[in-house]
Amino acid sequence: MPGYFEDIAVGQVVSLGAMVVDNDVLNDFIAAFAPDRDPDDGAPDALVYAIWSRLDLKASAEWPQTKRLGVDALRWMRNPPAGELLRGRMTVMGKDQVGESKGIVIAQHDLLDEAGRLVFSCLTRSVFVCRGE
């Protein structure tokens, strides 16, 4: 888990946890938001994004991160079927201190399937608090 801005290292990899693509959630999502989609085609892109967002929110709840400035370069590589376990990870790509009390961290976030194949990725920019010593 990342610490204060000074504790974060470029290249650091952080687990965001894991979540299964639940069959009932998939079917309910399709019924509500993509009624013409066949569930056998796997989770729609928007559901994959929602899974990543939930993992990210839960993992970062205790981090000294004060704001998410942006989510960019979204890429969907495949649509996982119901029952697939997805694992999230964040890799720190860069950081820039912007004053004495905070810094911006640029990170790549990935969702991987059980075989380790990329399902989804994006880049984020977030503000982290400095230790303030």
Convert the pLDDT of each residue in 10-54 to its tens digit.
999 999 999 999 999 999 999 999 999 999 999 999 999 999 999
In the structure, what pLDDT confidence band is assigned to residue 133 with cuts at 50, 70 and 90?
low
Structure confidence at residue 132 (pLDDT):
73
Evaluate whether 8 touches 64 at the Cβ level (below 8 Å).
Answer: no
Give the tens place of pLDDT for each residue, 73-128. Answer: 999 999 999 999 999 999 999 999 998 999 999 999 999 999 999 999 999 999 99
pLDDT of 1 above 90: no
pTM of the model: 0.93
pLDDT of 3 above 90: no
The closest alpha carbon to 83, from 29, 30, 25, belongs to: 25
Could you list the residue range(s) of the whole structural domain that residue 56 is in?
5-129
The sign of the dihedral angle between the CA atoms of 69, 75, 80, 85 is: negative
Structure confidence at residue 2 (pLDDT):
76
Please tell me the total count of domains within the chain. Answer: 1
User: Does residue 72 or residue 99 have the better pLDDT?
Assistant: 72
Structure confidence at residue 37 (pLDDT):
96
Averaged pLDDT, 1-11: 90
Rounded CA separation 129/55 (Å):
21
Q: What are phi and psi of 129, to 5 degrees?
A: -80, 140
Would you state the structure tokens that stand for residue 132, as one six-digit string? 């303030």
Q: What are phi and psi of 45, to 5 degrees?
A: -55, -40
